[in-house]
Amino acid sequence: MKTKQLSNARRSLASLSDVTKAELEAWFDLALRLKGETKAGKPQNILAGKNLAMIFQKSSTRTRVSFEIAMRQLGGGALYLSGNELQLGRGETIADTARVLSRYVDGIMARVFAHSDIVTLAKYATVPVINGLSDFSHPCQAVADYLTVLEHKGRLTGLTLAYVGDGNNVAHSLLFGGAKLGVNVTIVCPKGYEPQKAVVDRAESDGRQSGARIIVSDDPAAVKGADVIYTDVWASMGQEAEHAERVRIFKPYQVNARLMAMTGKKDALFMHCLPAHRGEEVTDEVVDSPNSVVLDEAENRLHAQKAILVSLMA
């Protein structure tokens, strides 16, 4: 049940910029197969005897539960390691942590602040490293997101996803993934809050190969024609001091019934990586609407990550 190996010699997942279209599609196929088996109650012992270390510098609900349950359902084990409890908090280098953990476990998942920590872990670990979230990228989320769109729309190529909000790590991963998969990605955000230029440039380059169109705009009307509207919190963890100012700046970009109607499509999906700050980036009316697939999206974190774990650790 293995998928193709990643080109990275250590088969780590730091960003979707490093993953090919074929690898993404293989993950979707495997995730759907594993999801069906899980629903049918079929035992999955693909990772029996394997253990995953889970490093959390940032607190989490979906990432921790989905990875831990994924390993259990695959027959393996998962070990939760708080950033405050590790020797990292007392001065041990990330490189040494990577080397030591590699002697104990078969894989490392890390949810961190600085993306450079993921890069260093992947460089020095001799086991696969999976980015559970960093300030630059959230690859597992984007894999689950596009899996969800595929389930609901039956295809990805030629669809348009409009991300409305801060050009953050989620926006980066949606750009990387969409550009490879042939999904048109429109980022709608206030001036000064755009995704990193290097990310947009890379997405545009990949889009020229896949046929995907990449647009960055500060006009909410740019969502016209979108098949999917996606948003995220306006102030991420670590940006609490900016919250009040961000609420003021992002208010015109709230995803509400009016903005959803601007797509011109009654069947436009609404997506959010959660947790949602209801009344800020999205209204109750939208997040609880029949068009909202946020719970399917959250569930698919489990199935997408199982596919990634099997691909990297089996």
- The yes-or-no verdict on residue 9 having pLDDT over 50 is no
What does the mean pLDDT of the chain come to? 94
Check 57, 73, 141, 254 and give the catalytic one: 141
CATH number for region 16-138+301-313 = 3.40.50.1370
Equal fold, 16-138+301-313 vs 141-297: yes
Report pLDDT digits (tens) over 300-309: 999 999 999 9
- The yes-or-no verdict on residue 1 having pLDDT over 70 is no
pLDDT band, very low/low/confident/very high, at 84 (cuts 50, 70, 90): confident
Domain boundaries along the sequence of the chain: 16-138+301-313, 141-297
Report pLDDT digits (tens) over 51-83: 999 999 998 999 999 999 999 999 999 999 998
53: closest CA among 83, 95, 92?
83
Among this protein's residues, is 303 annotated catalytic? Answer: no
pLDDT of residue 5: 45
CATH number for region 141-297 = 3.40.50.1370
Among this protein's residues, is 273 annotated catalytic? Answer: yes
> CA-based angle 245:250:256, to the nearest 5?
140
Is the omega angle on the peptide bond into residue 275 within 30 degrees of 0, that is, cis? yes
Using an 8 Å Cβ cutoff, are 170 and 273 in contact?
Answer: yes
Top pLDDT among 271 and 241 is at: 271
pLDDT band, very low/low/confident/very high, at 92 (cuts 50, 70, 90): confident
* DSSP codes, 229-254: EEE--SS-TT-GGGHHHHHHHHGGG-
Using an 8 Å Cβ cutoff, are 83 and 57 in contact?
Answer: yes
The burial class, CB within 10 Å (0-12 / 13-18 / 19+), for 59 is: exposed
pLDDT of residue 4: 45
Check 57, 73, 111, 254 and give the catalytic one: 111
Say how far apart CA 111 and CA 55 lie, in whole Å: 6
Among this protein's residues, is 232 annotated catalytic? Answer: yes
pLDDT of residue 239: 77
Report pLDDT digits (tens) over 207-225: 999 999 999 999 999 999 9
272: closest CA among 238, 295, 290?
295
Check 62, 73, 135, 138 and give the catalytic one: 138
Say how far apart CA 162 and CA 139 lie, in whole Å: 18
The helix/strand/coil state of 292 is strand
DSSP type of residue 8: S
Q: In the sheet that 77-82 helps form, which strands lie side by side, from edge to edge?
A: 77-82, 51-56, 107-111, 129-133
Say how far apart CA 120 and CA 128 lie, in whole Å: 12
Q: Two tokens at 69?
A: 């349950």
pLDDT of residue 109: 98
156: closest CA among 89, 223, 211?
211
pLDDT of residue 88: 62
pLDDT of residue 285: 98
Check 189, 301, 303, 305 and give the catalytic one: 301
Please give the average per-residue pLDDT across 133-145, as a whole number.
Answer: 98
Using an 8 Å Cβ cutoff, are 183 and 146 in contact?
Answer: yes
pLDDT of residue 83: 81
Number of other CB atoms surrounding residue 21 within 10 Å? 17
- The yes-or-no verdict on residue 202 having pLDDT over 60 is yes
The set of long-range contacts for 125-128, using a CB threshold of 8 Å and a minimum separation of 24, is 125/10, 125/12, 125/98, 125/99, 125/101, 126/10, 126/99, 126/102, 127/10, 127/101, 127/102, 128/10, 128/11, 128/12, 128/13, 128/312, 128/313
Say how far apart CA 280 and CA 260 lie, in whole Å: 15
Check 232, 246, 254, 272 and give the catalytic one: 232
Among this protein's residues, is 33 annotated catalytic? Answer: no
Range in 3-12, 22-31, 40-49, 236-245 the model is least confident about = 3-12
